[in-house]
Amino acid sequence: MHLLGPARSNYRVMNDARALQMAGYQVTIVDVVAACDPQAATEMLDGMHIRHICAPGWFVPARFKLLFLLKFFVLMLRCIVCLFGVRADIYHAHVEHAFPATYLVARLRKKGLIFDTPELTMYGPSILRWPRLRWLAVCCIRWMSRSCDSYITGSPRYISILQELYAPAHVQLLRHVPPQHKPVRNTRLQQKLGLPAHTRIALYQGYIQADRGLDLLLRAAPYLFPDIVIVLMGDGYDATICELAALIQREQLADRIKILPAVPYSELLDWTSSADLGLLLLPPAYSLSIRYCLPNKFFEYLMAGLPILSSRLDAISDMIHQYDVGQVLDELTPANIAQAINALLDDADQWHTMHTNALSASAHGLTWEEESTKLIHLYQQIILKHANRPLKWAFPYST
């Protein structure tokens, strides 16, 4: 598996890798990190090999196309060298940035190739502002995609868009549900933050970045009932955390808004279970990727038994209505957000019904144990396909 970010904090990649490792596969992950000890460039984690490529400059935003392209080209060469040193039966690229290097090594070794796009990367504002470069990237990826043995995405709403963009014959939906975990209600967040045990917490967990609409949560805080606190828990790779911290200080919101760093994934649901409401108020107009997303945190909230307050995000809205586990807001204003949070947490009967529905959905159908069987079956099919393929078909365009 290959990704251009740290594997340890990428829950999707680690869930995939652990599922495969438990199914008997030997898994190697090649990731890119901002800093690492040269003596620890390779490590073992839960029986999986992780090879780190240290590239601190990759995580610093480039303001000019030429600089970005140069950084990407140099990093891709390093990734190719590292990947070529890993002998595998299947090479699995996570997100478009990791696809070129993975594609090249898989073709050189004549092995299986999986392209995994959990988001609509090519529809992000930072990509759309470079239309010619985007067009070139889409054309290259579309051509390379013809060699893929399988194509994976994380939201049902992404499938038709990806088929139009890259023209894959079939896209496999793989929702990233957390591994089964029996939640126990607790006061872990309240204790960590020094809050009274009866304090009710509306929680956002995940990356803290500009496309999450988190400034609206801060502006909604003054309208909340006195015993309700908003907690943002996660890490960020841009200036968003600093901007939010400055806004909290300027508006004197330190007693209403708390920011905590990300916790190890093995502990995450224990922390989530001490909250009372899960927040997914991402701005739908930011990008198609946001509008149609079905992120990890949605399933994590359900598994912890949290009712969910979401903006009008199509795939999430469908599931909230299907399972009756929350409320969807059409108008994202600070006053509306606060009013919805207050209402959801103040109606004990409604909260209990949604809490019970969330736990029921997670226990019956929305489980990683069930979803991961799709991934295992996919790998088995690719192994058999390449084992039975005549030599002349090792090159995808041979006649």
Q: Are residues 227 and 306 in the same domain?
A: yes
Q: Hey, what are 171's tokens?
A: 């896209």
> Does a structural domain hold residue 4?
no
| pLDDT given at position 393 | 40
Whether residue 27 is found in the same domain as residue 80? yes
Task: Establish if 110 belongs to a structural domain.
Answer: yes
165 in the same domain as 110:
yes
Q: Is residue 125 part of a domain?
A: yes
Q: Note whether 210 and 344 are same-domain residues.
A: yes
265 lies in the same domain as 334: yes
Q: What is the average pLDDT across 202-218?
A: 92
Residues 355 and 377 in one domain: no
pLDDT tens readout for residues 266-308: 889 999 999 999 999 999 999 999 999 999 999 999 999 999 9
Cα gap 165→63, rounded to integer Å: 26
Question: What is the pLDDT confidence band of residue 62, given thresholds at 50, 70 and 90?
Answer: low
Query: Domain with 73 in it: what CATH number?
Result: 3.40.50.2000
In this structure, the answer to whether residues 222 and 112 fall within a common structural domain is: no
Q: What is the mean pLDDT of the chain?
A: 90
User: How many domains is the chain built from?
Assistant: 2
Q: Same structural domain for residues 74 and 206?
A: no
Alpha helices in the chain (DSSP H): 11-22, 65-84, 99-109, 125-128, 131-145, 159-166, 188-193, 214-220, 240-250, 265-272, 288-291, 296-303, 314-323, 334-346, 348-363, 368-387
3-7, 207-211, 259-263, 375-379: which has the highest mean pLDDT?
A: 375-379
**How much of the chain is helix, strand and coil, in % rounded to 5?**
50, 15, 35
Q: Are residues 107 and 211 both part of a single domain?
A: no
Residue with tokens 């460039």: 41
Altogether, the residues listed in the chain come to a count of 399
Q: Are residues 104 and 118 in the same domain?
A: yes
pLDDT given at position 122? 92
- Same domain? For 158 and 249 the reply is no
How many other CB atoms are there within 10 angstroms of residue 371's CB atom?
18
Evaluate whether residue 356 is within a structural domain.
Answer: yes
Q: Looking at the structure, tell me whether residues 202 and 337 fall in a common domain.
A: yes
Predicted confidence band of residue 59 (pLDDT cuts 50, 70, 90) = low
Among 12, 115, 46, 10, smallest CA distance to 371 is for 12
Boundaries of domain holding 302: 188-363
Distance between alpha carbon 67 and the CA centroid of its chain, in Å?
27
